[in-house]
Amino acid sequence: MTNYNPKEIESKWQSFWSKEKTFSVVEDPNKKKIYVLDMFPYPSGEGLHVGHPLGYIASDIFARFKRHQGYNVLHPMGYDSFGLPAEQYAIQTGQHPALTTEKNINRYRQQLDRLGFAYDWEREIRTSDPYYYKWTQWIFIQLFDSWYDLVENKAKPITSLIAHFESEGSQDINASCTQKLTFTPKQWNSYSSEKKEDVLMNYRLAYLSMSMVNWCPELGTVLANDEVKDGVSERGGYPVEQKEMMQWSLRISAYAQRLLDDLDQVDFTTSLKEQQRNWIGKSEGLLINFEIEHQKEELQVFTTRPDTIYGVSFMTLAPEHKLVQHITTSEKKKEVFAYVDLISKKTERERQANNGKPTGVFTGSYAINPINNEKIPIWVSEYVLHGYGTGAVMAVPSGDQRDYEFAKQFNIEIKNIFEGISLDSSAYSEKDVIYKNSPEINGLNYVDATAKITTLLVQKKKGRKKINFRLRDAIFSRQRYWGEPFPIYYKDNIPYTIKEEQVLLPKVDKYLPTRDGRPPLGRAKKEDWNIFLGDQMELNTMPGWAGSSWYFLRYMDPKNDKKLASSEKLNYWNQVDLYVGGAEHAVGHLLYSRFWTKFLFDLGVISFQEPFKKLLNQGMIGGAIESLCLKKEKKEGRPVFVCSTKIDNEDFVKIPCHIDFVSDYGSKTSHLLPKQIQKFIKWRPEFKHALFEISNQFLSVEELLNHPEKKLFTLTEHGKMSKRYFNTIDPEKICDSYGADTLRCYEMFLGPIDEHKPWNVNGISGVSGFLKKTWTLFHQAKKVAPSNEELKILHKTIKKVSEDIENYSFNTVVSTFMIAVNEWNKLSQISLTTMENFVVLLSPFAPHISEEFWFKLGNKTSISTVPWPSYNESYFVESTYEYPISFNGKMRFKIPLSLSLTKEEVEKEVLKNKKTEPFIAEKTVKRIIVVPGKIVNIVL
RNA sequence: GCCCGGGUGGUGGAAUUGGUAGACACGCAAGACUUAAAAUCUUGUGACCAUUUGGUCGUGCGGGUUCAAGUCCCGCCCCGGGUACCA
């Protein structure tokens, strides 16, 4: 018997799999399908990130498991190769993005191959591949050519809308739109083509508009809302400003309700669903019109609390609100316009970081409260957001904290409309209130008051029920080079789609972004375009999430050049059954793909409305940073290290320590033992003469070695993995020293797949030892009939492993394997047939070693085609059956089969011990707990 | 602030969903083999007393329900994530 040599067998089986195309899959209507998908990576240049393999291993295990169970498994991989990260890397290294992308992909592939994944590489896709992005562009054209009918709740061809306008005008159209328009058919038919196009833009699902956008000068592009965090760009952390620009947007807001409702159909974590719900942000309320003194126009506000209308003591407009220009009185003009100007110059971040005092100015005008005709001053303040609701609010200082603070700041009246509530220090925003000073609703509760005010205002034609969503349309233009070009050209300022031929990304000399926002594609000459129509090509490119919003469909039929995928294949593979990836894509990618899926459903391209049935979020893997505490003060000229537990504002310097030396790495009690201190000193010889202050003694290394139990506690901080902190672990290095199978099992063994954890390598020897033990055990197996004892272990293992994989509890599966092997090891001998079954169980986790075993067993086909073993309960000595007897009512017993007790014997046993107290009977069964009239449980 | 998660030995983590808490692994200790080391194997390992056969306390803290609570309910504390002038 040779020793377990992972390096040798892993490369052997990897080349076998790739030569035999073991994992390529074809559609087969006679077989049930499973679609297991990983979030495909950005090939960013730093190679695979340590967190990545975690999810890939999990999905690979699941895919291999299902393949054993006889499913036709689609398990593909590809690259999200367009977009900012790829381009940033190219810019940093001064190479063309196409080149660096190619290089990075090769590197990724090499790393992926090393881990033995069962991907069908025949189906690989790249979003930057023209054969792929042809269909991204195609979907864009469909969006451009569609509008959203709110009556039937689906997208429809724009031609049907035009036909309606021609015959009925805007009447009877309830569409998702930027602005509500009204016109007659006669008016419509008299419009110029430019005007018609303007009107249609108002309805198209992909539309051009002049709007305030998140402009990031450093990246030279605009960003979608979810790409901006805390006023800076998510990627790179550069400041983001508000800028008015002509941009393409996608009308995702049309789908807000469906995106919200259909969350009930999918199996995502509650926290992720909650994030999506918050992002969609549905709120039901009332639009209320306030008349303005001496003005024709009315001021419309949105509120969810019409019940507090008697508490309105001022109105507030966003500085961008168009009424600000009209209603500001002449004496206030100078002040108000200066304020508006000041605010417009602020970046998003500055507006948010408005710590403490609210700002604002009075416009000089007054609104009329429609409920009691009271005169209310109208103010302008930056705390009101232009983009939400109507950009104006009715301010109720008694019920809203922001309004309260504003009122305090500017000495505006705070009307108390709540019975028995003190408003001395803050507003009262809870809804458990009884009203006062509110003639129509005095004494009522929240529900009744809201209903009454709503009815009153609707009757007066001053109010209208309205559902508002926080979800904003997604900006779809990027002023960057490395993205899908729009299939759009302009003629006389009217955009037209290009359908006759695919628009390819033209070559340009310089692909760097510009600071002023002119797209790099502007550098392309007329002849650089493969197709050039009209006066001007669209020069923006699509954002990174365009290609990733539908890629899961292309894997189904990656080489189709007639359609994005054939309907048979789309129908066969259907939804992704298991989608594995990080939770950081909660509101970006996951929302956009859900949106596109629904749109493609409306088009009739696909037959399902949700792309991902089940989402598994793998936890992030961070790195703990371990440092020794070096006192600034030396002792007798020698440096002194002290325990991290002893430092309190004392002067000390952190000396980062290589994590290989640290015990309990990443925990509160991380420490170095004398032997490890010795290693540390070898690594950092400049501390050769250092002293270590432990339990009030100053000891040198030599002295410490006489006290092997002494511990020097290290300072642990949680952070990133970085070479700078000596806390990186390279997955490839682990493959080198332990093998991919050990790494796969170990990553699963670390803990629940969805939990965040710092990476550590502390326990890897246990997993490695397990595989070695398995190797030995296998080679000791004899060609004999399996004993009952070993079968009992096997069948328990099959049961537990199958159930746990089904529940994505991969860490406990590895433990179960270990228990089985340990128990078999205690037996005098083991049969080959038992091992044969075990090898199948092991193969999703450790495919290479399992394949090696399978080969040795003389089976020529690859192990992944072997059926998953089934278990037989009769081998479970501890198996139980339910044994109902009557005892002060109905009770349930679980009695071991092995004891083969008769009914009388059990009853006798139980009745003999009949007590009011629970009791334990250890003679016939291990434990019986009996309570008269309640459940009795007999534990083994 | 609000919304989700979560808190179990020295460490990572189990616990059939209300039924012997601490599986499995790491670490540590002792022993076997060895000239020695590595590797491997065996044993022990929540804490505190008793040192045998036993006892007491133990799942962030304080209450409660129950024959029985890590698990359910109420009130706190702490950690992680998301989100925010959304009216």
DSSP A129: S
Nucleotide closest to A819 measured between CA and C1': B24
Supply A28's token pair. Answer: 């087969």
Strand segments, DSSP code E, in A799-900 are 880-882, 885-886, 890-891, 894-896
How far: A875 CA to B47 C1' (Å)? 39
Q: CA–C1' distance A669–B48 (Å)?
A: 22
A324/B1 CA-to-C1' distance in Å: 31
A885 vs A709, which has greater pLDDT?
A709
**Mean of pLDDT values over A907-930:** 40
Nearest residue to B68, CA vs C1'?
A: A918
Q: What SS3 class is residue A48?
A: coil
Instruction: Measure A773 CA to B31 C1' (Å).
Output: 22
With 0-12 CB in 10 A as exposed, 13-18 as middle and 19+ as buried, what is A835?
A: buried
Residue A37 bridge partners (DSSP): A579
Tens digit of pLDDT for each residue in A300-353? 999 999 999 999 999 999 988 889 988 899 999 999 999 988 887 776 666 666
Instruction: Enumerate the β-bridge partners of residue A537.
Output: A489
Interface confidence (ipTM) of the complex: 0.94
> Over 90: is that where the pLDDT of A740 sits?
yes
Residue-level pLDDT at A2:
79
Distance CA A6, CA A14 (A): 12
Q: State the pLDDT at residue A677.
A: 77
Beta-strand ranges (E) seen in A437-553 are 463-469, 474-475, 488-491, 494-497, 536-537
A111 CA to B14 C1' in angstroms comes to 33
The pLDDT tens digits of the residues spanning A209-232 come to 887 788 888 888 888 777 877 777
Distance of C1' in B61 from CA in A759, Å: 31
Find the nucleotide nearest A401 (Cα to C1′).
Answer: B85
Closest CA to A777 of A730, A818, A727, A830: A830
In whole angstroms, B5 C1' to A108 CA is: 33
Q: What pLDDT is stored for residue A881 in this prediction? A: 34
Name the residue with the least CA to C1' distance from nucleotide B11: A664
Residue A316: nearest nucleotide (C-alpha to C1'): B87
How many other β-carbons are positioned within 10 Å of the β-carbon of residue A192? 8
Q: Length of chain A, please?
A: 940
Q: State how far the alpha carbon of A683 is from the alpha carbons of A664, A680, A702, in Å.
A: 20, 5, 16
Nucleotide lying nearest to A273, CA to C1' measure: B4
Query: pLDDT tens digit string along A414-469?
Result: 999 988 888 887 888 888 888 988 898 998 888 889 999 999 999 989 999 988 89
Query: Is the per-residue pLDDT at A580 higher than 80?
Result: yes
Question: What is the nearest nucleotide to A301, using C1' and CA?
Answer: B87
Nucleotides of B under 7 A from a protein CB: 3-5, 10-16, 19-20, 23-29, 39-42, 67-68, 80-87
Return d(Cα A69, Cα A34) in angstroms, integer: 11
What is the spatial distance, in angstroms and rounded to an integer, between the CA atom of A430 and the C1' atom of B74? 21
- Placement of tokens 């394997």 in the chain: A817
Q: Is the pLDDT of residue A128 over 90?
A: yes
Quick check: A805 pLDDT over 80? Answer: yes
Which region among A134-138, A689-693, A759-763 has the lowest average model confidence (pLDDT)?
A759-763
A227-231, A252-256, A335-339, A597-601: segment of lowest average pLDDT: A227-231
Query: Nearest CA to the C1' of B84 belongs to which residue?
Result: A352
Q: Smallest CA–C1' separation from A229: which nucleotide?
A: B83
> In this structure, is the dihedral angle defined by the CA atoms of residues A260, A264, A270 and A272, taken in order, positive or negative?
negative
Number of C-alpha atoms within 13 angstroms, CB side, residue A869? 23
The protein residue nearest B39 (Cα–C1') is A769
Q: With b meaning 16 or more CB within 10 Å and e meaning fewer, what string describes A108-147? A: bbebbbbbbbbbbbebbbbbbbeebbbbbbebbbbbbbbb
Q: ∠ at Cα A128 (A126, A132), nearest 5°?
A: 65
Distance in angstroms: CA A918, C1' B62: 28
State how far the Cα of A683 lies from the Cα of A661, in Å rounded to an integer: 10
**Rounded Cα distance, A792 and A876, in Å:** 6
The amino acid sitting at A348 is E
Is 50 exceeded by the pLDDT of residue A752? yes
Q: How far is the CA of A178 from the C1' of B40 (A)?
A: 74
pLDDT of residue A729 exceeding 70, the answer is no
pLDDT score recorded for residue A248: 94
Q: A394 falls in which pLDDT band (50, 70, 90)? A: very high
Which nucleotide does the CA of A352 lie closest to, via C1'?
B85
Instruction: State the pLDDT confidence band at A242, using cuts at 50, 70 and 90.
Output: confident
CA of A56 to C1' of B65 (A): 45
Minimum CA–C1' distance nucleotide for A931: B67
Any idea which nucleotide's C1' is nearest the CA of A469? B86
Q: What is the CA radius of gyration of chain A?
A: 35
